[in-house]
């Protein structure tokens, strides 16, 4: 009989990706006498065969092996069960993957005894409905990083009307828009010259993608705002995407509604480093200029 005091874990990972299956099996061997593993779920192409929410709620932690995509997939699945995610980096960047395999094993007891901080991060809820029938939702999803609308193939400019809390903010002309969480501020938002937000903040960022106006700059709004985006002019290939995982082609009469999701993403932080350390190490943030050495000081 397993020790009832042992932490209950669920494991996630895309077993088709390099090194993931091997790392999962090695961890199972390591945790054999340290934890009760409820299930091991394979994430493939952002889908998973998973336990029901009621079963997931019995778990103390979810250990996710992979990169940020796998962690985002697992986080979206786990949001209703409120299970904290321990991200183990086996990807390229791993901004959300706080731990290496060695760090997970070295500090496993501290992590599972909740000595490592658990950060609560806000999420977004995205719904698409028709302007002629707002009660019928044709698409819905939850975002950890962002919701974005892009012109799609042919890459013609699109024009969108943006309202916040029923007040018209702007009509946008360009390649698209990003509505980002603080977690997602270091993802697509950052690549589009949006601001970096502290991940613990409660706010949204609206960032244009290649706007046809130098004055259309990103704005930060309150997390409890309700954003609506409707088309003025779109292309037939214009799409909306949630975390780059769920997507839908938009029609002329579609309206996109974005607001705060009623559940949060729980992430176990690595006690060995701060979020500023992570920014510096993984994104080269605030790196000093490469000064030329003064030949007189040699």
Residues designated as active site: 68
Tokens linked to 184: 């997602």
CA proximity to 262, closest of 228, 291, 223: 223
CA proximity to 88, closest of 163, 13, 188, 200: 13
Name the H helices within the chain: 20-30, 53-56, 68-78, 101-106, 108-112, 188-191, 275-283
79 HSE (CA, 13 A, CB side): 20
Tokens linked to 216: 């259309």
Alpha carbons 155 and 245: distance in angstroms, whole number? 20
Alpha carbons 267 and 207: distance in angstroms, whole number? 25
DSSP string, 98-157: -B-HHHHHHTHHHHHTT-S-EEEE--EEEEEEETTEEEEEEEEEEESSEEEEE--TT---
Alpha carbons 123 and 184: distance in angstroms, whole number? 10
């Amino acid at each position: 009989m397993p020790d009832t005091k042992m932490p209950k874990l669920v494991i996630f990972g895309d077993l088709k990706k390099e090194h993931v299956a091997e790392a999962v099996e090695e961890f199972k061997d390591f945790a054999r006498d340290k934890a009760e593993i409820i299930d091991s779920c394979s994430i493939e192409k952002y889908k998973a065969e998973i336990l029901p929410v009621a079963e997931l709620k019995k778990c103390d932690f979810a250990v996710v092996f992979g990169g940020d995509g796998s962690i985002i997939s697992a986080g979206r699945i786990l949001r209703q069960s409120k299970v904290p995610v321990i991200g183990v980096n086996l990807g390229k960047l791993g901004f959300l993957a706080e731990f290496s395999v060695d760090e997970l094993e070295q500090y496993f007891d501290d992590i599972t005894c909740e000595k490592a901080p658990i950060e609560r991060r806000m999420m977004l809820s995205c719904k698409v409905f028709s302007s002629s029938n707002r009660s019928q939702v044709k698409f819905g999803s939850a975002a950890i990083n962002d919701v974005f609308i892009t012109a799609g193939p042919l890459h013609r400019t699109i024009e969108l009307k943006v309202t916040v809390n029923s007040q018209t903010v702007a009509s946008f002309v360009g390649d698209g828009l990003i509505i980002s969480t603080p977690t997602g501020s270091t993802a697509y938002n950052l690549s589009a010259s949006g601001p970096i937000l502290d991940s613990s903040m409660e706010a949204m960022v609206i960032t244009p993608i290649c706007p046809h106006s130098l004055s259309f700059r990103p704005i930060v709004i309150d997390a409890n705002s309700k954003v609506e985006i409707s088309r003025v002019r779109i292309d037939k290939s214009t799409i909306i995407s949630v975390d780059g995982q769920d997507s839908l082609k938009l029609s002329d009469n579609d309206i996109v509604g974005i607001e705060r999701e009623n559940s949060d993403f729980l992430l176990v932080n690595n006690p060995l480093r701060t979020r500023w350390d992570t920014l510096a190490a993984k994104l080269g943030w605030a790196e000093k200029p490469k000064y030329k050495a003064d030949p007189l000081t040699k």
